[in-house]
């Protein structure tokens, strides 16, 4: 049982929970995720870790309510408990000083991107972040992202905040104006697909963090398999990050849709 310490509502469907998990808080690094379960009959849901606090022994999760299980988790309040939290799972992000790193996040994807932005900044990179959402209230963690970025571009579909347009417009703007050495993208599969397509045109090495269907999250079930460079890989143990130019995003989207 892991107690919820605090809660913040980012938007109608997006909730931030700070959860007691001292061992995970200590061992996790940028890019890792956890599997949580709510209730004795609950599903195992993979969630990327947005932040951790080793002093208080907590991790921060940002959850978008999309189905019954995530709605149940989002409805929890401080003092309530998650039945299970296991992790940190997956491979941590490879962090090094590339030069200029473009970090591109869409919707709740900004939450797992934040620790990568911080780590890339700490490694001495110039970090340019592009945050995207359908509208102003879906842009999350802007303040935290700004604290660790040299520049931030905000894109909204409806133009209610920042620039009007898709995330790719923001990415292209950056690539055209300065030399980008590396790109990290996290968000909906369709967004990552087009970011990858664009950065491939400009030859910018790009890593995408995938959110696949999982049961155990430890390599046991294979529900999370994805084709990367023509080979089947398991997102849970070999990912969640892969070379975005090699990922079969269409298959990923098909698999995500088919599980609903």
Partner 1 sequence: METNDINAQRNEQWRADLRATKSPKERTAIPRVEMPQLDPQYRITCNEEVNQGITAEQAVLEASRCLDCPNPQCVTGCPVNINIPKFIKNIERGEFGLAAATLKETSSLPAVCGRVCPQEKQCESRCIHLKMKHQPVAIGYLERFAADWQRNSGQAEKPVMAPKNGIKVAVIGSGPSGLSFAGDMAKRGYDVTVFEALHEIGGVLKYGIPEFRLPNSIVDFEIDGLREMGVTFVKDCLVGKTITYDDLHEMGFKGIFVGSGAGFPRFMDIPGENLNGVMSSNEYLTRINLMGAGHGGETPVLNGKTIAVIGGGNTAMDSTRTAKRMGAERVILVYRRSEEEMPARLEEVGHAKEEGIEFMTLHNPIEYIGDETGRVRMMRVQRMELGEPDASGRRSPVPVEGAIEEIPVDLVIVAVGVSPNQLVPRSIEGLEVSRRNTIVVNEETMQSSVSDLYAGGDIVRGGATVILAMGDGRRAALNMHAQLSGN
- Build a one-symbol-per-residue string for 194-223: x at contacts with partner 1 by CB under 8 A, - elsewhere: ---------------------xx-xxxxxx
One residue of 6, 12, 56, 68 binding partner 1 per CB under 8 A: 68
232 is an interface residue for partner 1 by CB under 8 A: yes
29 is an interface residue for partner 1 by CB under 8 A: no
Residue among 16 and 255 whose Cβ is closer to partner 1: 255
Q: Please give the Cα distance from 56 to 224 (Å, whole number).
A: 32
If you count them, how many residues does the chain have? 260
Residue among 172 and 238 whose Cβ is closer to partner 1: 238
Distance of CA 7 to the CA centre of its chain: 19
Minimum CB distance to partner 1, residue 161 (Å): 35
Q: Please give the Cα distance from 118 to 127 (Å, whole number).
A: 9
| Contact residues for 3 (Cβ-Cβ < 8 A; gap 6+) | 19, 20, 79, 80, 81
Residue among 1 and 55 whose Cβ is closer to partner 1: 1
One residue of 87, 109, 115, 239 binding partner 1 per CB under 8 A: 87
Residue among 176 and 258 whose Cβ is closer to partner 1: 258
Residue among 32 and 121 whose Cβ is closer to partner 1: 32
57 is an interface residue for partner 1 by CB under 8 A: no
Minimum CB distance to partner 1, residue 176 (Å): 36
HSE toward the beta carbon, residue 52, CA cutoff 13 A: 24
Residue among 153 and 212 whose Cβ is closer to partner 1: 212
Minimum CB distance to partner 1, residue 18 (Å): 18
Minimum CB distance to partner 1, residue 225 (Å): 6
Residue among 73 and 140 whose Cβ is closer to partner 1: 73
Stretch that binds partner 1, among 20-28, 48-56, 183-191, 196-204 (CB under 8 A): 20-28
List interacting residues with partner 1 (CB under 8 A): 23-24, 27, 37, 39, 41-44, 68-69, 83-89, 215-216, 218-223, 225-227, 232, 237, 251, 254-255, 257-259
């Amino acid at each position: 049982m892991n107690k919820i310490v605090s809660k913040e509502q980012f938007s109608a469907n997006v909730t931030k929970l700070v959860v007691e998990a001292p061992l995970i808080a200590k061992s996790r690094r940028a890019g890792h995720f956890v599997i949580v379960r709510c209730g004795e009959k609950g599903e195992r849901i993979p969630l990327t870790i947005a932040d951790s606090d080793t002093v208080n022994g907590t991790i921060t999760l940002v959850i978008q309510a999309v189905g019954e299980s995530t709605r149940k988790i989002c409805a929890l309040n401080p003092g309530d408990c998650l039945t299970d939290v296991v992790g940190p799972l997956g491979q941590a992000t490879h962090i090094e000083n590339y030069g200029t790193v473009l970090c591109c996040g869409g919707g709740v994807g900004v939450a797992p991107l934040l620790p990568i932005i911080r780590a890339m900044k700490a490694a001495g990179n110039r970090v340019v972040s592009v945050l995207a959402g359908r509208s102003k209230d879906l842009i999350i963690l802007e303040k935290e992202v700004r604290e660790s970025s040299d520049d931030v571009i905000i894109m909204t579909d409806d133009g209610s905040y920042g620039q009007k347009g898709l995330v790719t417009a923001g990415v292209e703007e950056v690539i055209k104006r300065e030399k980008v050495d590396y790109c990290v993208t996290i968000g909906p599969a369709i967004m990552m697909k087009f970011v990858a397509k664009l950065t491939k045109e400009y030859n910018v090495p790009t890593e995408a963090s995938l959110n696949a269907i999982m049961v155990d999250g430890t390599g046991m079930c294979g529900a999370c398999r994805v084709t990367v460079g023509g080979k089947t890989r398991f997102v849970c143990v070999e990912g969640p990050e892969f070379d975005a130019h090699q990922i079969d995003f269409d298959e990923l989207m098909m698999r995500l849709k088919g599980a609903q």
